[in-house]
Structures are given as structure tokens and as C-alpha cells.
Amino acid sequence: NAGVTQTPKFQVLKTGQSMTLQCAQDMNHEYMSWYRQDPGMGLRLIHYSVGAGITDQGEVPNGYNVSRSTTEDFPLRLLSAAPSQTSVYFCASSYTPGERIQYFGAGTRLSVL
Amino acid sequence: DAKTTQPNSMESNEEEPVHLPCNHSTISGTDYIHWYRQLPSQGPEYVIHGLTSNVNNRMASLAIAEDRKSSTLILHRATLRDAAVYYCILSNSGGYQKVTFGIGTKLQVIP
């Protein structure tokens, strides 16, 4: 059981480049979400999805797009990377939105130069 | 949305109990109290959660004040592997959509 898998683990981008952070879970979880973690800021919710075809914005959605075409995958797209998006990104999932336990991936460390 | 307040850091000696406090004075009746921890260079992992009653599991115990305005995560016997950042968060019946992870408490375990 792989749990929540994030790829890549590390990425360096130049300002203006686009890329997609991948997140996959094999637990048949309905709820998936993306967070970013910056030093001294805790984790902030970017986008979330309560099921295939349904997404919504979190606390800091600007500059990011998401889609949920399957239950398993929830990719996060950076449209035009900016240095302010340098951060560690975590994907998480839970069986339902109201489930009390979230499972997190190992994170993607992104640097935008 | 209800928020939590935790000390920025705490120290504990190895093999001694650790009590990590959390204040949540604006908690609502339907808010669950959760604790997660984050080991260095890893994603957060679930520790325990509760609503009104104290809870125990293999990792820790959660003591909830009678008025629910505060709670305490208890690690019964700290090990070096327990050195991590511990987050106290609240979620309502709707789930994690409005959850805020603050900066948590960084626990240092001294050998």
C-alpha cells in the first residue's frame, strides 16, 4: 500500500516556467488537498477536492490550478512560476471530507529562481 | 474559524513524559481537536483526535479540558524519534476545508 505519492521530490524552475506537481493515492479516498509550507508560516491550504470532477479554492489559491479527473490523481499546476512560490508542497487525502484522519505525502521541494 | 495557540518550542528528556499544551478558546461545539506531527523532511502524520472525552492510542493520549477550551497531547515516554513539530488543529464536521495548521510546537528530546 503506497499511500500518498508525490512526484517529483525536488524541482528547480526559472521564473515564468510552468510545471505540474503530481499527487496520487491508492486508498480510494474522496478528499484530496494541496498545502504549501513556508518557514514560520505553518501549512496553508491551496486547493482541495471532495471527489472526481469537484475542486475548490483554499486559503492561497492564486497562481495555482488543479483538476480532478480521477479519484486517484490530483495534480497541482503552476501556470507561471514566481519566486514567491518557492516552498515545500504537500498533498494530503482522506476517505471523506469529514474523515478525521488525513494522510500526507512526503512533499515536493520547489525552488523558483 | 477557530484557531489554536501552542508554544513555539519545548524540551523533554528522553524516556520522560511530555505534555504538549494547546489553547483553543473559540472552539465550537462541533469542532474536533486533532494532533499531527511532522518529523524532519517528512510530511505531517496523524497522531490522535478527540471531541469531548480523553482519548488514548498507541502513539499518545489526548486530554481535553472540560470546557474544551484547551487540550494536552501526552507522550508517555519520549524517545529521540518523537523529536518533531507537533500541530494542534481544529476541524468541524465538514472536514478539513477550513483547517489552519499553525507553526506548531517544536519538540526537542534530549538524550
- Cα A94 to chain centroid distance, Å, stands at 14
Query: Whole-angstrom Cα distance, residue A9 to residue A79?
Result: 19
Chain-chain contact of A102 with B87 (C-beta, under 8 angstroms)? no
Instruction: Nearest by CB to A42, from B34, B94, B103: name it.
Output: B103
Whether B86 and B73 have beta carbons less than 8 Å apart is answered as yes
- Interface check for A88 against chain B (CB to CB < 8 A): the answer is no
- Cell numbers given for B93: 464536521
Q: From first to last of the 111 residues of chain B, give the pLDDT tens digit.
A: 568 999 999 999 999 999 999 999 999 888 899 999 999 989 999 999 999 999 999 989 999 999 999 999 999 999 999 999 999 999 876 666 667 788 899 999 999
Q: What is the pLDDT of residue B96?
A: 67
Q: What is the pLDDT of residue B2?
A: 64
- Interface check for A40 against chain B (CB to CB < 8 A): the answer is yes
CA distance B94 to chain A (A): 5
- Statement: residue A36 has pLDDT above 80: yes
Tell me which residues of chain A, numbers 44 to 63, contact chain B at a CB-CB cutoff of 8 Å.
Answer: 44-45, 48, 50, 56, 58-59
Q: What would the pLDDT profile of B8-29 be if each residue is shown by its tens digit?
A: 999 999 999 999 999 999 998 8
The residue ranking higher by pLDDT, A41 or B94, is A41
Is the bond preceding residue B21 a cis peptide, omega within 30 degrees?
no
- Interface check for A100 against chain B (CB to CB < 8 A): the answer is yes
Q: What would the pLDDT profile of A42-61 be if each residue is shown by its tens digit?
A: 899 999 999 999 999 998 99
Q: What is the pLDDT of residue B54?
A: 93
* Residue whose C-alpha cell is 480510494: A28
Residue B42 has φ and ψ, to the nearest 5°, of -130, 165
- Statement: residue A29 has pLDDT above 90: yes
CA dist list (Å): B55 to A78, A82, B10: 41, 44, 22
Instruction: Nearest by CB to A102, from B41, B96, B104: name it.
Output: B96
